[in-house]
Amino acid sequence: MDRRNSNNSSEVEAFLYDASGHDEKIDPNRIGTADLAENHLLWVNISKRDEKLLESVVSALELKGVPLEEIVAECSRPVINRFDTFFRFCIHAIITKEGKSPEKQAVDFIVGKNFVLTMHEGPVDYFAAFRERERGETQFGELDAESFVATLLDLNIITYFHALDELEKAVDEMDDKVLQKDFEAEDFLKQMVRLRRDASRLRRWLVPHREVFYSLSRSDFRQIAESDSHEEYKMLNLHFESAVDAIEHSRETVLSVFDLYASKSAQQTNQFIRRLTFLTLMTGSLAVIAGILGMNYKADIFEAENGFWLTVGTMILIALGLSVFARFKRWI
């Protein structure tokens, strides 16, 4: 690698996996394929979309025909291209933050004999987790580059499952709010729109990867077909399809929250109607009594000293009796 870019070494990391020796993080200026043995695997990771950085690494790896501008520009949807000595593809990982909508992150791969080059903007969480997990001596040097990429692609799919976990967590919280207390319709609809949008985004971002995954597993893809990783890519396709199915199910789960809210709203409406009906019955009964007493006829009650208060007290007792009866019947 050109030493003019040594000041950008923090943005270029190189890892050499040696099946017969020690795995190590090497100086980016030592990047090259000339010294790679059969039991070596070189992974170069560029964490900034800079054309000069990419050009210097590509030059050190002695690659010809790499679409530098296309890679640096960041893909809007997954894409795969084959070349004479390597193949290149772009995929989207998912960035998940608690309480926030998921975001996508484009990651480019260039894969050749015994080397893998990745490029992205900013940190990729599953790259960091992978390196943290594989701190000790590994056997990655025994793998070909295609098998190593299959491992990274599987971790990329897992980012979608992590996003689904956050989505399901938000759905559970919505369920609790709907069941435990009154939920303002406006707030509920805002959160429903966000959850529905998140589920649709995950599906819209994941499904286009089918072209990449299916291409890698086809028998006419020479680099994969001639390697030992063909079966791994078939399993990767199954994992991909399970992720698609999980996202489809998540959309139904989001809609189930609306069904729950509609059921609770209907139950609250029925309860309100029952109470209103009872109130109408009770006031109607008291109005009948008042109407009878207001008729133009003579009765002893009109001559009583406390006739008015006796009438009021009687009506209150009737109202209380009806209320106790309605409560017993669970009408109110």
At 75-100, the pLDDT tens digits run 999 999 998 889 999 999 999 988 88
- Tell me if the domain spanning 3-263 has CATH number 3.30.460.20: yes
pLDDT value, residue 201: 93
State the pLDDT at residue 91: 96
Structure tokens at 66: 């790499």
Contact between residue 177 and residue 200 where contact means Cβ atoms under 8 Å apart: no
Give the chain as a 3 state SS string: CCHHHHHHHHHEEEEEEECCCCCEEECHHHCCCCCCCCCEEEEEEECCCCHHHHHHHHHHCCCCCCCHHHHHCCCCCCEEEECCCEEEEEEEEEECCCCCCCEEEEEEEEEECCEEEEEECCCCHHHHHHHHHCCCCCCHHHCCHHHHHHHHHHHHHHHHHHHHHHHHHHHHHHHHHHHHCCCCHHHHHHHHHHHHHHHHHHHHHHHHHHHHHHHHHCCCCHHHHCCCCHHHHHHHHHHHHHHHHHHHHHHHHHHHHHHHHHHHHHHHHHHHHHHHHHHHHHHHHHHHHHHHHCCCCCCHHHHCCCHHHHHHHHHHHHHHHHHHHHHHCCCC
Q: Any residues with CB less than 8 A from the CB of 131 and at least 6 apart, and which?
A: 15
* Residue in this structure with the two tokens 């890892």, named with its chain if needed: 15
Dihedrals φ, ψ of 95, to 5°? -100, 120
The total number of residues shown for the chain amounts to 332
pLDDT at position 160 is 95
pTM of model > 0.85? no
Domains in the chain: boundaries: 3-263, 270-328
Write down the pLDDT at residue 176.
79
pLDDT digits (tens, 9 = 90+) for 208-258: 999 999 988 887 776 776 677 778 888 999 999 999 999 999 888 888 887
Residue by residue, pLDDT tens for the chain (332 residues) are 544 444 355 789 988 887 666 777 888 777 776 667 777 888 999 999 999 999 999 998 888 999 999 999 989 999 999 988 899 999 999 999 888 889 999 999 999 888 999 999 999 999 988 888 766 555 554 677 888 899 999 999 999 999 999 998 888 888 777 777 666 777 777 888 888 899 999 999 999 999 999 988 887 776 776 677 778 888 999 999 999 999 999 888 888 887 777 777 777 778 888 888 888 888 888 888 788 777 766 666 667 777 777 788 888 888 888 888 888 877 77
Produce one character per residue of 292-307: b if its CB has 16 or more CB atoms within 10 Å, e if not: ebeeeeeeeeeeeeee
Is residue 26 within 8 Å of 16, Cβ to Cβ?
yes
Integer Cα distance of 131 and 96 in angstroms: 19
